[in-house]
Amino acid sequence: MQHRTKMKAMGSLLAVTALLLTGCSSSEDSAESTTTNSFPADSTMAKIAAKGKLVVGTAYDTPLFSVKNPTTGEIEGFDAAFSRLVAEKLTGSADNIEWVETASENRMPFLENGKVDIVIKTFTITAERDERIDFAGPYYLVGQDMMVRADYTKVTKVEDLNDPSIKVCDGVGTVTSENIRKSAPDANITEVEDTNLCVEGVKDGRFDVYVDDDAYMGGVVALTPDEIKLVGAPFTKEGLGWGIANNDPVFQAWLNELLQTAIDDGTWVKFYDASIGSVLGTKPQIPTVGMIP
């Protein structure tokens, strides 16, 4: 995948951030440094600090990344942890968040119309999306894989999906269909708005295969491993990013520096171990900020 122009620029922007980012060495730093005066006037950071809350677009139903706990009502997971870290650095408290439930088809409109300040929701960085919005990151690396019923053996690689008799499901507004057709142009793909329908469809036989990010589906499989499984043949390598409004290089650079600090001081691994790693038990692939696979 080619690096986008705006993503290439992130490396040089990181240097600027040293002047912008006060007290961002860990998620436990003093809230005293997260005042409006810490940020350049009229910057997105200053505006968020002034209003006293961060508006985050995220999913409520993505295991390991962002799930709404039915008992407590809290949003939990890897994405949720980073959302709270960003809120803490901008407002002085990790609790100063307004959560907005966000789906694949509305995450870019939400950024474009100002409904949310940031989207932290397993958001794959692509050249097309990068034309409409900006991304910080990548903050996580994924590969697209295939979920099937536990006893299903017809599919072992993405090329097998070229058989139209195999019913494939994926989500609307994702890059999955495009990626599948690069290797299986005749694939019989149904796109749905709620990918939970893909999971349930695989279980009950309406679909044979559900294609999505391996880390996300690994969490889903862990809930009912006797019914479904991953094929274990990822066919892409992609970077997930934090989506922000277009043409905001100062906010982009600030977020990238925050992310880099979290990687350097162990916060990234701590968040991973408490969410994704606790279920998958795999060694994390720590991303290189500003570099897209």
pTM of the model: 0.78
Name the percent of the chain lying above pLDDT 90.
73
> CA-based diameter of the chain, in Å?
61
CATH of domain 144-230: 3.40.190.10
Sign (positive/negative) of CA torsion 13, 128, 285, 195? positive
pLDDT band at 212 (very low <50, low <70, confident <90, very high): very high
Task: Copy the structure tokens of residue 270.
Answer: 């701590």
Name the percent of the chain lying above pLDDT 70.
87
| Residue 110 · residue 78 · CB < 8 Å | no
Of 248, 239, 243, the C-alpha closest to 13 is 248
The class of domain 5-142+238-280 in CATH terms is alpha beta
Average pLDDT over residues 115-144: 95
Average pLDDT over residues 199-217: 94
Sketch the domain layout of the chain as residue ranges. 5-142+238-280, 144-230
Strands 54-58 and 97-101, by their bridges, are parallel
* CA gap 239, 87 in Å, rounded: 22
Average pLDDT over residues 21-47: 62
Return the pLDDT at 108.
96
Whether the pLDDT of residue 88 is over 90: the answer is yes
Do 5-142+238-280 and 144-230 share a fold?
yes
- Radius of gyration from C-alpha coordinates of the chain: 19
- For residue 70, count CB atoms less than 10 angstroms from its CB and return exposed for 0-12, middle for 13-18, buried for 19 or more: exposed
Task: Copy the structure tokens of residue 83.
Answer: 């959302």
Mean predicted lDDT score pLDDT of the chain: 88
